Amino acid sequence: MAATAYHTTETGKRRTMFIPVGLPGSGKTWLADRLDTRHFLVISQDLLKCDVATLKMIIENQIKNSRRHLYIDSCNHYGSRRRDLVSLALKYHLQVVFINFRFNEKECRDSVMLRTKNGEPHPSITSTEIADRAFATILERYHPLIDSEYTGFKTEGVSSILVTQREKLQELVVKFNEHA
């Protein structure tokens, strides 16, 4: 089967790989949990607890075996990793949409702490004791998404959505589910 056979949904729409980029607690998993599973397949590294190579293999397998849009639920904090995901999506003629969750560190940390205290732990930060260490590690390695990172791909179907207000997340869920 040619690679182009993987690029459409069952309804004939071009498939999209959604790549959220943001700190823990910014709303990436919240959004993923509200996507219509008839049209979206969420692949979460936090839940799979696998290394990057295994994750790429799982994603490629799902591109080949699912006709749904993909949502890669992870911080996606390395620029090199995002480029690998874009290359994989474009190999199979999928569109790519970066969802740039741009919230400040304190707001994200507070969100994770509140969830953890309320008995709803973050998928990868399971206790308040490790939250500070986890945030320090992630911030040390975090490469925020910048426009120039994807502008060279715009002609190939790569775009970006900027999310700076939590209130807009519900609107995004509705928009994605309606246009799936």
The CATH number of the domain holding residue 32 is: 3.40.50.300
Categorise residue 49: left if φ over 0, alpha if ψ from -120 to 50, beta otherwise. left
- pLDDT, tens digit, for every residue of 15-51? 999 999 988 888 898 999 999 999 999 999 877 877 7
pLDDT bin (cut points 50, 70, 90) of residue 3 is very low
Residue 81 lies in a domain: yes
* Burial classification of residue 166, based on how many CB atoms lie within 10 Å of its CB (0-12 exposed, 13-18 middle, 19 or more buried): middle
Can you tell me whether residue 126 is helix, strand or coil?
Answer: coil
Length of the chain: 180
Q: Poorest-confidence range of 14-18, 21-25, 129-133, 158-162?
A: 129-133
- pLDDT averaged over every residue in the chain: 81
CA-based end-to-end distance of the chain: 24
63 or 144: which leads in pLDDT: 63
Can you tell me whether residue 140 is helix, strand or coil?
Answer: helix
In the chain, the number of structural domains is 1
Q: How many CA atoms lie within 13 A of 12 on its CB side?
A: 0
Domain interval for residue 72 = 12-102+144-179
Residue 132 lies in a domain: no
Residue 10's CB is within 10 A of a number of other CB atoms, namely 10
**In this prediction, what percent of the chain has a pLDDT beyond 90?**
17
Residue 112 lies in a domain: no
Residue 73 lies in a domain: yes
155 or 111: which leads in pLDDT: 111
Span 75-80, average pLDDT: 82
What gap in Å lies between CA 66 and CA 82, rounded to an integer? Answer: 21
Residue 121 lies in a domain: no
Query: Given this model, what pLDDT does residue 180 score?
Result: 77
Span 131-149, average pLDDT: 74
Residue 38's CB is within 10 A of a number of other CB atoms, namely 9
Residue 113 lies in a domain: no
